[in-house]
Amino acid sequence: MPVAHSFDPDRAAIWSERRKTLGARVRALRLERGLTQEALALEAGISRNMLITLEWGQRSVLADRLGDIAEVLGVTASDLLDDQKSGD
């Protein structure tokens, strides 16, 4: 019987794709709104380094922080997570 926390390469690949999709959407919306990384990070209460790694798909983010980022971008957190949206 597999251990619940054992490494699952298929699950890791799914997580990686989700992070990349989220990061690309955040970046696209930031650019559409004419915000620098510094401005978005400051308004969302996160570090610029955190935002950079989020946009590159290298970091996940807590739901609370995702809500803060979405608020600054003028969208909902679910808009950032919905991979069917094009970054409106």
Per-residue pLDDT reduced to its tens digit, 17-27: 999 999 999 99
The DSSP symbol for 74 reads: T
CATH of 9-81 among 2.160.10.10, 3.40.50.2300, 1.10.260.40, 3.40.50.150: 1.10.260.40
Domain boundaries, the chain: 9-81
pLDDT at 88: 45
Helix axes 63-73, 37-44, angle to 10 degrees: 120
Q: Could you tell me if 21 and 83 are in contact, meaning their C-beta atoms sit under 8 angstroms apart?
A: yes
pLDDT at 82: 83
16-65 pLDDT, tens digit each: 999 999 999 999 999 999 999 999 999 999 999 999 999 999 999 999 99
pTM, to two decimals: 0.83
